[in-house]
Amino acid sequence: MRYQNATAYRFLAPYLLIFSIFWLWPIISSFLISFQATRTVPWRFAPTFNWGRLIGDPAFFNALKNTLLILVIQVPVMITLAIVMAVLLNSPLLKARGLFRFAFFAPVVVGEVAYSAVFRLMFNLDYGIINKLLNSVGLPRIDWFSNVTPAMAVIMIAVTWRWAGYNAIILLAGLQSIPQDVYEAATLDRVSKLKQFFYITLPLLKPIIVFCAVLSIIGTMQLFTEPFLITERGGPGGGTETLGLLLYRQGFRSLNFGYASAIAYTMAGLAIAISLVQLWLTREPK
C-alpha cells in the first residue's frame, strides 16, 4: 500500500510541481502582497494599507454594487432560461435535436472579442439591428452605451446569451437521468404535465440547478470580458465597472498590485460566501 502510494505520487509529481509554481504560489503570494504597500520602492509591509483603502473606496463599492446587481438579475434569469431550453431540448416533439443542441452550445466556443464586437454592432445607436427592430415596432431608439441602465442591460443580455446554452446542456443531462416511468406513474396518477414539471422535474433536477447556479455565481463574480469590450472598460463613466474590471484597472493600469490583490481576495471570498449560502438554502432536508 505504502509503496503504491509512493508510486502514485511519483506519477503525480510533474503535475504537483507545475500546480505549486503556477497556482499555489500565486495564490499565497497575492495574499501576502495584499498586505503590502506596493507603490513604494521597495514594497513595504503595511497590513491595513490596502484593506483600509478598500473599505472606504467609492470605486470599490460602485464595482461591488454593479457586480452584485448583475448577479442577482442575470443569474436567476439565465438559469430559468436554461431550464426552459433544456426542457425543450428534451421534448420528444423536437425535430433536429442535434442541431439545436449545437446551436445552444455554440456561443461558448465563439471567441470573446468577436462576440463582443458583434454585440456592439447590434446595439449601435444608429445602425444597430436592435434599434432598427425597436423602430419598426414604433418604439424609440435607445442609446445603449451612453446611459447606465441600458448599458447594464446589454451586459446582462450578452452574458445570458453566452452562457444560457452551456447551462442548458448541463441541465439536459440531468433531465435525461430522470427515469421515464416516474412520469408515466404520475400520468396514471392524473398529474398534469405542468404539475409534473413543478413537483417531479424541478425537485429531481435541484442538485444540477444548484450546481449551475454556483458555477454562474463564480463566473459572474469574475465578470470582465463583457464590460471591458462591449461597454468599453465599464462605461459610461464606470457605470458598468465590475470588480474584475476594477482589479484589472488597479493591477495592470495603475500597477498597484497590493490593492489589486486585496480586491481579488474580496471577489473570491464573496463568491465562496454566496455559493455557501446558496448551498445551505437548497440543502436536502434530513
Partner 1 sequence: MAAVTLKNVVKRFGVFEIVHGANIDVNDGEFVVFVGPSGCGKSTLLRMIAGLEDISGGEIAIAGKVVNNVEPADRGIAMVFQSYALYPHMSVEQNLSFGLRMNGNPKADTERRVKRAAEILRIAELMKRRPRQLSGGQRQRVAIGRAIVREPQVFLFDEPLSNLDAELRVQMRVEISRLHKELGVTMIYVTHDQTEAMTLADRIVVLNAGNIEQIGAPLDLYDDPANRFVAGFVGSPKMNFMAAKVVGNDGAVTVELANHCGAKLRKPLSGAAPAVGTEVVLGVRPEHFFEAGEGDCDIAVKADVAEHLGSVSYVYANAGPEELIIEREASRQRANGDHMAVSIKADRSLLFDKSGARIR
Residues that bind partner 1 (CB under 8 A): 179, 181-182, 184-191, 195, 199-200, 203-204
Contact criterion met (CB below 8 Å) for 228 and 74: no
Secondary structure (DSSP) of 27-47: HHHHHHHTTEE-SSSS-EE-T
d(CA 153, CA 13): 47
The grid coordinates of residue 45 equal 509591509
Query: Which of 47, 179 has the CB closer to partner 1?
Result: 179
Query: Which of 182, 255 has the CB closer to partner 1?
Result: 182
| Rounded least distance, CB 286 to partner 1, Å | 11
Query: Which of 170, 204 has the CB closer to partner 1?
Result: 204
| Rounded least distance, CB 279 to partner 1, Å | 17
| Chain centroid to CA 198 | 26
Contact criterion met (CB below 8 Å) for 163 and 78: yes
How big, in percent rounded to 5, are the helix, strand and coil portions of the chain? Answer: 75, 0, 25
Query: Which of 2, 190 has the CB closer to partner 1?
Result: 190
| Rounded least distance, CB 183 to partner 1, Å | 9
d(CA 78, CA 99): 21
Query: Which of 63, 208 has the CB closer to partner 1?
Result: 208
Contact criterion met (CB below 8 Å) for 87 and 175: yes
| Rounded least distance, CB 189 to partner 1, Å | 3
- Residues in the chain, total: 286
| Chain centroid to CA 8 | 35
| Rounded least distance, CB 283 to partner 1, Å | 13
Query: Which of 1, 188 has the CB closer to partner 1?
Result: 188
Query: Which of 56, 285 has the CB closer to partner 1?
Result: 285
Sign of CA dihedral 63, 65, 70, 71: positive
| Rounded least distance, CB 136 to partner 1, Å | 45
| Rounded least distance, CB 199 to partner 1, Å | 7
Task: For residue 92, say if its preceding peptide bond is cis, omega within 30 degrees of 0.
Answer: no
